[in-house]
């Protein structure tokens, strides 16, 4: 096998993005050999772009066709696990768009299916492949920071106007999307958080629903995290602020690390704060500001695709963004909803009540109001459909 033959399941915004990755040569060892969508208009558009690629209305038919070695799933969130499980059962490798699913129960089922299948399962947490986060990962893992005291992430660069929420009938309701900012935009940072620092042991959250937009789901979030080792964290995000900010501050025993605008600065103490505190009774310890070198590599967001294709071709089982890790960020977002729905109480993530959360979510799904008069269409941003 020289190239991975991949089928695209779902040809909306993200399916089209996956098409771009592959046809623009960003994933040179991958080729599109089938496309599936239940929307005839999306299939017509795919046919215009790829007249020689077979089209399918049902994913099951694509899975049985023998045309693919793997599939990429880019459908509305609720059906990610179902489609992934069926693909794995048909002997196909799976690259699933984030989030892996809407609630933890279904994602745990998907992870179990992957274990039984022996096939690869990746989730497209594309920010993991960017040079700035790769560099930050190495810095944190090196131990050079000493004990991490507090993590603060202000992530409000996710501005989405009402037109975004109205761009498709499935967006921004409990019944069809399964949530708002926490289930759609925030998985990126929540995944990076657990990838860099580990999953918090407990959290509490204040979440606003329809604060800025005519939607029933969340668009503004403030959360606090705790770790059993004493580390604490604050996560602030939303889709109603512009211009937004993406700034990560790490307060540690050896000083402070700041990530913003694709750069990393380390205000490094000459000796640890704890040692200074033991030996001195005034002033602050001396420090030097260091700009941490970040490789000058283009941020094309296709790193997970490249890694997945290479793993399929070589038989490598370790992935940049393996499916089994996707449960971590989803547990964090589910726990934020659970906290907010129960008076912003602290939630223990080590014993998260999966069934209780599922029942809470289904209550909201039952009362969810479907959108009327909205025809699915591409939401255009940055010149890309």
For the chain, the domains span: 4-126+300-322, 128-297+329-366
Mean predicted confidence (pLDDT) in 197-208: 98
Query: Does residue 180 have a pLDDT over 90?
Result: yes
Tokens for 155, please give them. 């992530």
pLDDT tens per residue, range 235-286: 999 999 999 999 999 999 999 999 999 999 999 999 999 999 999 878 899 9
Query: Does residue 227 have a pLDDT over 80?
Result: yes
User: 208-238: string of b/e by CB count within 10 Å (b at 16+)?
Assistant: bbeebbebbbbbbbbbbbbbeeebebebbbb
Q: How many CA atoms lie within 13 A of 62 on its CB side?
A: 32
Q: CB neighbours (10 Å) of residue 91?
A: 11
Q: What is the pLDDT of residue 382?
A: 31
pTM attached to this predicted model: 0.94
Residue 131, class by beta-carbon neighbours within 10 Å (0-12 exposed, 13-18 middle, 19+ buried)?
middle
Query: Does residue 377 have a pLDDT over 60?
Result: no
The alpha helices in 142-176, defined as continuous H runs, are: 162-165
Q: What is the pLDDT of residue 375?
A: 58
Q: Which CATH architecture has domain 4-126+300-322?
A: 3-Layer(aba) Sandwich (3.40)
CATH number of 128-297+329-366: 3.30.360.10
pLDDT tens per residue, range 137-176: 999 999 999 999 999 999 999 999 999 999 888 899 999 9
Of 68-82, 109-123, 292-306, give the lowest mean pLDDT range: 292-306
How far is 88 from 69, CA to CA, in rounded Å?
11
Place of tokens 């059962």: 89
Query: Does residue 197 have a pLDDT over 70?
Result: yes
Helix (H, G, I), strand (E, B) or coil at 330: helix
pLDDT range class, residue 119, cuts 50, 70, 90: very high
pLDDT range class, residue 374, cuts 50, 70, 90: low
């Amino acid at each position: 096998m020289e190239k991975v033959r991949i089928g695209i399941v779902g040809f909306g915004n993200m399916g089209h993005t996956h098409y771009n990755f592959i046809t623009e040569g960003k994933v040179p060892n991958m080729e599109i050999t089938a496309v599936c969508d239940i929307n005839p208009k999306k299939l017509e558009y795919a046919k215009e772009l790829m007249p020689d690629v077979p089209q399918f209305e049902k994913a099951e038919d694509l899975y049985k066709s023998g045309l693919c070695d793997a599939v990429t799933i880019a459908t509305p969130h609720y059906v990610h696990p179902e489609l992934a499980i069926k693909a794995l059962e048909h002997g196909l490798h799976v690259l699933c768009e984030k989030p892996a699913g809407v609630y933890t129960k279904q994602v745990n089922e998907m992870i179990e299916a992957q274990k039984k299948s022996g096939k690869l399962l990746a989730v497209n947490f594309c920010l993991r492949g960017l040079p700035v986060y790769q560099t930050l990962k190495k810095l944190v893992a090196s131990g050079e920071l000493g004990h991490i005291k507090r993590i603060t992430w202000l992530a409000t660069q996710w501005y989405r106007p009402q037109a975004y929420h109205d761009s498709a009938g499935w967006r921004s309701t409990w019944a069809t999307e399964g949530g708002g900012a926490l289930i759609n935009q925030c998985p990126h940072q929540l995944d990076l958080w657990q990838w860099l620092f580990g999953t918090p042991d407990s959290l509490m959250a204040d979440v606003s629903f329809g604060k800025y937009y005519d939607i029933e789901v969340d668009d503004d979030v403030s959360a606090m995290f705790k770790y059993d080792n004493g580390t604490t964290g604050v996560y602030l995000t939303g889709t109603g602020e512009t211009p937004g900010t993406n700034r990560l501050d790490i307060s540690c025993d050896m000083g402070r690390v700041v990530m913003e605008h694709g750069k990393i600065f380390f205000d490094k103490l000459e000796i640890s704060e704890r040692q200074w505190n033991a030996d001195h009774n005034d002033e602050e310890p001396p420090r030097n500001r260091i700009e941490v070198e970040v490789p000058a590599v283009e941020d094309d967001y296709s790193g997970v695709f490249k890694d997945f294709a290479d793993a399929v071709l070589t038989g490598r089982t370790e992935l940049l963004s393996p499916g089994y890790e996707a449960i971590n960020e989803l547990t964090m977002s589910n726990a934020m909803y659970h906290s907010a729905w129960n008076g912003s109480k602290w939630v223990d993530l080590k014993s998260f009540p999966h069934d209780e959360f599922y029942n809470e979510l289904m209550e909201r799904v039952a009362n969810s109001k479907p959108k009327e008069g909205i025809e699915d269409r591409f939401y255009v941003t940055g010149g890309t459909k």
